A and B are shown apart, each in its own frame.
Chain A
């Protein structure tokens, strides 16, 4: 079951990252704090992603 949960979480994170990257390409990237606040359960991953870019 934990594997299913991990998979579901990965898919959710993937959708969030994809939406962000597509927004960036469209020239409408959300402000950092707004993006982090929109998905608090993934804030750590999102922050790491932004810092790595």
Chain B
């Protein structure tokens, strides 16, 4: 039964990772099209392959004790869900900076905002993500 549950969670995590990457790809494509910058779009699409690894690394870094694969998958699902629930601009800033690893200046260029504005988006997005994941951990709505 545990194996069935673990397999289900793995599939769900994989699906959410793909949804996250697709969502980011769509948003970046919109921005790139608007800017008519094909080269930038291609470089960002190539960078999307790193999303899953960074997602897992982010979760691994914040877990204080060794965890099982099932727990890791469950955390991935929760993280992807939390990211899907924060405002779009905040989510994009978090995804580009934390999951894609782009420097602040590049995130600002992609989003058409100042670096200071991106810093604010990261602050709001990261604290909101933390709140959402904390709420779920405590059994909140």
Contact = CB atoms under 8 A, between A and B. Distances in A.
Contacts of A25: 103-104
B119 interface: yes
Contacts of A17: 116, 119-120, 122-123
Interface in A13-45: 13-15, 17-18, 21-22, 25, 45
Given A21-B104, A22-B104, A25-B103, A14 B127 contact: no
B20 to A, nearest CB: 18
Interface of B, secondary structure class, is: helix
A10 B116 CA distance: 11
A13 B116 CA distance: 10
Contact of B120 (A10, A22, A48, A53): A10
B116 A53 contact: no
A17 B123 CA distance: 8
B42 interface: no
A14 B120 CA distance: 6
Contacts of B127: 45, 48-49, 51-52
Interface residues of A, number: 15
A22 B105 CA distance: 9
B103 A14 contact: no
Interface string B102-141: 0110000000000111011011011101100000000000
Q: Which of B104, B123, B129 has the most CB of A within 10 A?
A: B123
Given A14-B117, A21-B115, A25-B104, 19 more contacts: A10-B120, A14-B120, A15-B116, A17-B116, A17-B123, A18-B115, A21-B104, A25-B103, A48-B130, A49-B122, A49-B123, A51-B127, A51-B130, A52-B126, A52-B127, A52-B129, A52-B130, A53-B98, A53-B126
